[in-house]
Amino acid sequence: MSVLTLDQVRIHAGSSTRDAALQEATDILVAAGAVTPAYVDAMRQREETVSTYMGNGLAIPHGTNDAKDAILGSALSVVRYDGGVDWDGEPATFVVGIAGRGDEHLEILSQIAILFSDDDDVAKLNAAQTPDELYALLSAVND
């Protein structure tokens, strides 16, 4: 099963707040059948403990370990906010929501981290004009 499909990838010209971005990430994961709507609360709890901002314009919100009941399957949501998101004082462009069954989120996290650690890859992700282009660059996470 693919953790990322085209309809889980979005590009917004404007900016957003962290809370709105967490809600959108949750909504996409709910639509994908990966989480229940309660997952957003676990994401917010995680941010209160430790920011999921990773650097390089990337935030990877995911729920706390207590959120296992809210996770139905493994999936990603990817939203690029061209106007940026103020993530506790850090500028996030990409908000990658992660839901993982069992330990699968660790594998998914590492693949995303590798992709965003390469400046050339990040430049390509930022230059993608459409969700289709963005999805093509990200689809390696399904391997």
**Alpha helices (H) in the chain, listed in sequence order:** 18-31, 39-49, 104-117, 119-127, 131-138
Can you give the C-alpha Rg of the chain in angstroms? 14
Q: Which of 3, 16, 34, 62 is catalytic?
A: 62
Structure tokens at 52: 């999921």
Q: Would residue 12 show up in a list of annotated catalytic residues for this protein?
A: no
Question: Residues 46, 61: contact at Cβ < 8 Å?
Answer: yes
**Active site (catalytic) residues:** 62
